[in-house]
Structures are given as structure tokens and as C-alpha cells.
Homo-oligomer: A and B are copies of this chain.
Amino acid sequence: MNVTIWNENVHERTEDHVRAIYPDGIHGALATALAEAGSVRTATLEQDEHGLPASVLDDTDVLTWWGHAAHDDVADEVVDRVHDAVLGGMGLVVLHSGHYSKIFKRLLGTTCSLEWRNEGERELVWTVDPAHPIADGVPQPIVIEAQEMYGEHFDIPAPDELVFISSFAGGEVFRGGCCFKRGRGRIFYFSPGDQDYPVYHHPDIQRVIANAVRWAARR
């Protein structure tokens, strides 16, 4: 299985405290976490064609997507290409602030807006579909000590499968683990993870993302 990890890679290059958490970038942390799931490569915004020429997508079984500060800088032709690839069967795992990426909004058709508050709150990730392969081996709940809060209402179509719901110390809830099928492609959105917190170093979160990559991969 060929996994391509896409990262905007802006915060890591411009903010010391983010680089301290993710010295190899969020993409680097994810590459380490997914090393056993398949053959992993990374791609970032600043590369030519954002590192996603047709030759890369044609050779990708599942693409993970992290972006936040520079969604608008992603070229529409690259979005078109990723969109076609997903409809053709490439898996897509959209992470955290990627909910506002062009590709996620293109695939889902809604605003994908949500409520948020960044105060380093405890997040609990509850499994509501324990037999789902993406929940395999995951504790009930996953405990994340400090996280940005993402809350409802999350403006997405009703997911084809709902796997996880998060709660936050402030009392909010969020449908943070959602499966969608579009064309021949499988899409998983997973909300945990932010540039300000070491969430992608959390073993349970890594487990979920690895599970998701296997579930979403092209068949």
C-alpha cells in the first residue's frame, strides 16, 4: 500500500513552538506513525504542484491531508486532480483543520463549518461503532490531555458511517470520526490533531490514523 502524506507545512516553518512539537513537520510525525501501514512518502504545499503531480496520485492508494493557514493557496488544478483521484478510488484521510480544505468541501458539498475554541482542553474520543475496523484496538475513550475544541454544529452531510464522537472539558461534543464514500473512493475525517499540541505523537491517535489508512486504501 502506497501512502502519501500531504501537509501544508506552514506553521512548522514559521512558529518556533510548533517546530518544537513537530521538528520534522506534522508530515514527518505522521510518516513515522504510518511506517508500518505501507510505503510512505510525503508532499507539502511549497513543492512544485504541491508535491502532488499526476504521477504521484496515480501511485497513491491513500492520501492524508493536513492544512490550516493556507487552504486558499492550494491550486484549483491540484484540487481537481485530487478530486478525480478520490472519485476514481484513491482513499482520503482528512485531518483536523483540513475540514476547511478545498478538497474536503468539494467532495462533501457543504460549508464544513464548526465551532471552535483553543484553550488546551481535555478531549475524550468515544467509539460509537465498536466493530468498525477504524476503531480496532482503540480504548474507550481515547484521552487527549490538551486539545483545541471542535464543536457542533459541524455542517457536513450525514456521514455514511459515524465511528467516533468527542467530548471536551467545556461540555461540547463533535462528530470527529466520520466515514464517507464518494465515487469509488473512501474518505475518513478525523478531528483530533492541531499544530499547537502533540496529538500526532499520541499512540492511540496514531492507531486510529493507521486503521483509517488501511480502511480507506484503494482496492
Q: Which of A87, A133, A166 has the most CB of B within 10 A?
A: A87
Segment from A13-21, A55-63, A176-184, A189-197 that makes contact with B: A176-184
- Which residues between 107 and 161 of chain A lie within 8 Å of chain B, taking CB atoms? 107-111, 122, 124, 126-131, 133, 136, 140-141, 151-155, 157-158, 160-161
A218 → chain B closest CB, angstroms = 9
Whether B109 pairs with A127 at a CB distance below 8 angstroms is no
Q: Which of A2-10, A34-42, A167-175, A201-209 contacts B (4 or more CB under 8 A)?
A: A167-175
Number of copies: 4
The distance in angstroms between the C-alpha atoms of A126 and B153, with both chains bound, is: 8
**Within the complex, what minimum Cβ distance (angstroms) separates A111 from chain B?**
6
A141 to B107, CA, bound (A): 28
Separation of A128 and B114 alpha carbons in the complex (Å): 11
Q: Which B residues touch A169, using CB under 8 A? A: 171
Q: When the two chains form their complex, are residues B109 and A175 in contact, meaning their CB atoms are under 8 A apart?
A: no
Which of B110, B162, B219 is the one whose CB lies under 8 Å from A182? Answer: B110
Q: A106 in the interface, Cβ–Cβ < 8 Å?
A: yes
Contact of A158 among B133, B162, B175 (CB under 8 A): B162
- A87, A109, A128, A180 pick with most chain B CB within 10 angstroms: A109
- Structural contact, B110 and A183, CB atoms closer than 8 A: yes
Chain B, residue nearest A168 (CB) = B167
In angstroms, Cα B140 to Cα A154, docked, is 13
Q: In angstroms, how far is the closest chain B Cβ from the Cβ of A217?
A: 12
9 A-B residue pairs with CB within 8 Å: A87-B110, A87-B111, A110-B182, A128-B154, A129-B181, A155-B183, A166-B173, A167-B172, A173-B173
Query: Which residues of A does B touch, CB under 8 Å?
Result: 87, 89, 106-111, 122, 124, 126-131, 133, 136, 140-141, 151-155, 157-158, 160-162, 165-167, 169, 171-173, 175, 180-186, 219
The 5 closest A-B pairs by CB, nearest first: A131-B184, A167-B167, A107-B109, A109-B109, A165-B173
